[in-house]
Structure 1
């Protein structure tokens, strides 16, 4: 007997959706369905963490590379990732309480990525990365963290 989940994932998804729509719950592939839902939740968190990491990395690079051309490039990338981040936060507001923790956790990864970028570009100064402050306000741009809420500054 072949397993549709392993043989044709798209078809399996369509089948599971159809079974749900028809409320034929006893026919659902519950083990794999639970696994996929949990995987979606992890991916949601990872997307937010990746955006936070990228913003911190570009903030660090911007602080160490004052050239106007590079600053514009970093600003553009920061803005792009902030837009992505805020879109994901709006679609998953239950993750708001974890945002400050995510910022702290992603700082180390961002420093490593910034150090690699500095080395690739031929710049010294990666030892200075730990001394640069990147606040929640820097990460969220026009939005900021106040306690556990993401607020819009207007």
Structure 2
């Protein structure tokens, strides 16, 4: 094991800085290639997991907004869905930031929406106790609607 590979195990920040210096100096033969590849792969996976997670929460709150809001606001005069709206706004903002930081995720959005939607339906069913038959089989929201700050269906 090289000194740089050992450093990966003991001081990640110094390891990363040292690899960056080696890259800038074009000293490729000294790089810790194995761990660099692992880190690059993990970063991509982490970004995809975050995209999935944020879309899951956004979809679940849009479903609650569309399919439960009217029912609750009729029952409780003071219910205005403020926390749901805040979560929708927050997730849209976080998604926009993630996509600015990792623009390569743009190509994965449609697939991840398709993947996240059934999980969002399950989550919404658990949280609202509405039957699964309440919700469309496929995501009713377009990509544009999901990212549109003014879009709320009711």
The two structures have a TM-score, normalised by structure 2, of: 0.76
Give the 3 Å change call, closer, same or farther, for CA 14–93 of structure 1 in structure 2. closer
8 Å Cα contact 2:121-2:132 kept in structure 1: no
Q: Which runs of 5+ in 1 are unaligned?
A: 119-123, 145-154
In the alignment, the residues of structure 2 paired with residue 96 and residue 143 of structure 1 have an alpha-carbon distance, to the nearest angstrom, of 21
What displacement does 1:115 show? 2.4
More strand by share: 1
Aligned residues: 139
Task: Note the aligned Cα RMSD (angstroms).
Answer: 2.5
8 Å Cα contact 2:58-2:91 kept in structure 1: yes
Partner of 2:76: none
The two structures have a TM-score, normalised by structure 1, of: 0.76
RCO (CA 8 Å, sep 6+): is it higher in 1 or 2?
2
Partner of 2:68: 64
8 Å Cα contact 1:56-1:134 kept in structure 2: no
What displacement does 1:32 show? 0.5
Q: Which runs of 5+ in 2 are unaligned?
A: 74-78
The reply on whether 1:108 has 2:118 as its aligned counterpart is yes
The reply on whether 1:29 has 2:28 as its aligned counterpart is no
- Structure 1 residue ranges (4+ consecutive) displaced by more than 6 angstroms after TM superposition: none
